[in-house]
Amino acid sequence: MSPGLPEEATASGNAPPLSGKAALITGASRGIGRAIASRLGRMGAAVAICARNRDALEKTAADLRNEGIRNLPIVADVTRTQDVQRMTELACAEFGEIEILVNNAGVGVFGPFQERSDTDWDAVLGTNLKAVFLASRAVAPRMIRLGRGHIINISSLASKSAFPGGAIYCASKWGLMGLTACMAEDLRVHGIRVSVVCPGSVATEFSSHAGRDPATLLQPEDVAHAVATLVTQSPHSFISEVDLRPLRKP
């Protein structure tokens, strides 16, 4: 691989598929978000990466630069309207209009619902659902003016399955499925694709996987691959939903 060039460009000798495009990824300092930023960057996109933890974000930005990926780290709390507006404006000022938005930021609080607090509810619904609304609302008018774009929401298979202790998390992800479907209907007429990726258990710091065979877990790069597929679709159709499972069952 040539220094400073995305691997997708060097593999074929042609311009990378996302050359000249700008992407904004939330929750991008680690795990799935970091993998998505790396993958899109290697496909030629300039990536604005957002997270709340400045140190972790700066470390990821440095790692991406070492891969030859142009990026802009933005510290923001995506549950706050002012932060989201500032994040969007900074990204557009640096790279031009955002053509790819990946709403990846997410948190989980688990345990019997009757033992959970108002604070737990607000934290999970704020990050997993409200933040998607805020970021998408900020970017959508710009995409409408362009007449194209991708909004990709990272959900979970928990959006389809109930489990003990998952009430707040499942509520946020089930809600995200409804929000995504309606966003897709609102925006498809403008040439904008809105899709959702629902991974099973992924090997990240998000939750404990004690006792699980690592071979039965998805890797962050698996989710990034799904996102890469969504942003390189044929021009006259769109994939609305991707369910992602490991090849081997637990």
* pLDDT (0 to 100) of residue 3: 35
What is the spatial distance between Cα 165 and Cα 48, in angstroms, rounded to a whole number?
34
* pLDDT (0 to 100) of residue 249: 75
- Is 169 labeled as catalytic in the residue annotation? yes
Domain regions of the chain by residue span = 7-244
For residue 7, is pLDDT > 70?
A: no
pLDDT tens, position by position, 44-56: 999 999 999 999 9
pLDDT confidence of 207, banded at 50, 70, 90?
Answer: low
pLDDT tens, position by position, 25-83: 999 999 999 999 999 999 999 999 999 999 999 999 999 999 999 999 999 999 999 99
Which residue out of 138, 159, 169, 228 is catalytically annotated? 169
Beta-carbon count within 10 A of 153 CB: 27
* pLDDT (0 to 100) of residue 211: 58
The 8-class DSSP code of residue 15 comes to P
**CATH dotted code for 7-244:** 3.40.50.720
In angstroms, how far apart are the furthest CA atoms of the chain? 58
What are 219's two structure tokens?
Answer: 């890797």
Strand segments, DSSP code E, in 104-224 are 149-154, 192-199
What is the spatial distance between Cα 250 and Cα 245, in angstroms, rounded to a whole number?
11
For residue 5, is pLDDT > 50?
A: no
User: Under DSSP, is residue 74 helix (H, G, I), strand (E, B) or coil?
Assistant: strand
Cβ atoms of 76 and 87 closer than 8 Å? yes
Residues 6+ apart with CB under 8 A from 112: 164, 165, 167
What are 45's two structure tokens?
Answer: 């996109």
Average pLDDT estimate for 213-241:
92
Cβ atoms of 63 and 69 closer than 8 Å? no
What is the spatial distance between Cα 34 and Cα 53, in angstroms, rounded to a whole number?
13
How distant, in Å, are the alpha carbons of 36, 112, 125, 205, 212 from that of 104? Answer: 9, 25, 14, 14, 24
Cβ atoms of 66 and 37 closer than 8 Å? no
Average pLDDT estimate for 99-115:
97
